[in-house]
Structures are given as C-alpha cells and as structure tokens.
Amino acid sequence: MMLKQFDKVSTREKIAIRAEREIVSGSYVNLGIGMPTKVANYIQADKKVILQSENGLLGIGRFPDKHEVDPDLINAGKETVTAVTGAAYFSSAESFAMIRGEHLDLAILGGMEVSESGDLANWMIPGKMIKGMGGAMDIVHGAKKIVIIMDHLTRHGEPKILKECQLPLTGKNVVDRIITDRAVIDVTKDGFVLQETAQGWTIDEVKESTGAKLHVSKQLIEEAF
C-alpha cells in the first residue's frame, strides 16, 4: 500500500496492515473475531496463505463485495466472507482437531489485556453479558505463534499492557507479540521489549502509556507504520 493511501485509512486499518507483515507465505493462519478479521483484506497477492476459521472453513478469502455476499458463508465472528479456490468445509470438531493438533503456524487475535509474562485476557469482562468463551482458549495453546492486535489504551484511557492481567485469563504465557495503535512490542523472558513505534508516537509516550516496564530494543524502528 502506498504511503499516501496508508495515511487515509483508519487507525484500526493501520494496525491490520501492520499485522499482515507477521504472516509468512506458506503458513496456516487463524484470524480472531473483530479487528483481526480485517487482516484478510491486506494479505499480499504474492503470499500463499491458508486462513482457517474454527467454525469449519479452511481457505477464507477477503470480505465480499455487495454482489458476492453469500449469507451461508461466514467466519467465526458471523461476518460474511469469501472462499478461495480449493477451500474446504468441515465440522467444528475437525476444525478444533486442527487447532489442538498444532497445525496452525500463526494466530492473530484481539486482546483486552496482556501481561509482561505473556498472559492474555480477551474473552470476558466480569458483569458483562457474553455469548461464550469462543475458541480462543484452544487457539492460544494450539497455534505456534500468537500475535495480539488491540488499542494501546482502554476507552477510559487505562493501559491494556500490564505487569499482571486484571481480567479472567484466556491463557498463561501464550503471547509472542503485541501490535497496537502506538507500537509493536515483543513478550520475552525479560519482559516487554519495544520493537517499533507507530507514526506520531515517541518512545517516551509509548512507555508512559504502558502499564509495565518497557525495554527498548537496540534494533528499534521508529515510526515504522
């Protein structure tokens, strides 16, 4: 995407575009509900990627144009999608066998909180009505790499990247990388490491908005996306 075009997209679209760089050609990838599903629209044409959905579709394509909508063809978030040539349909049982069998190379999921030890909370807020825990608890333990994409702060301006999660956990020690509207941060054995800053954000601003100690990589790339 050209820089001029990139400047016109929303913050969440920018996060999705940056997350696409995590996808390696030839990989099997699961995109979580919400913002992660946007990543499908930005996968480079020269990348051979198979997208898997836990509701039973292997070979998800981009979101459909109006004339392409098939109400029976949906992802796990109940959004209408397209299917690539050669796509396969199967039961949720078979889908979760793929996940639990560690056949996914990468999962890109949304998050509510991430701790410095890689704990993830993304399935519920106490007191709020929820439909169920979904498939994330299996995905975070079945995929070989977990990338979380989310806003850096809550709607109330509180950090979502913390020393310890306050919300009920989806999984412990499962997150590898976090991509937010402000930065790219890796989870390591020594804690959070800042790898990239987003356009318009300084290192100090990212540190101040993070609720845990943030180490700065020697290979830091400033205003990388």
| Residues forming the active site | 54
Task: Break the chain down into helix, strand, coil percent, rounded to 5.
Answer: 20, 30, 50
CA distance 13 to 19: 10
Q: Strand 113-115 and strand 161-162: pairing?
A: parallel
For tokens 């629209």, what's the residue?
41
DSSP 3-state of 121: strand
| Cα→Cα distances 131→46, 124, 165, Å | 37, 10, 22
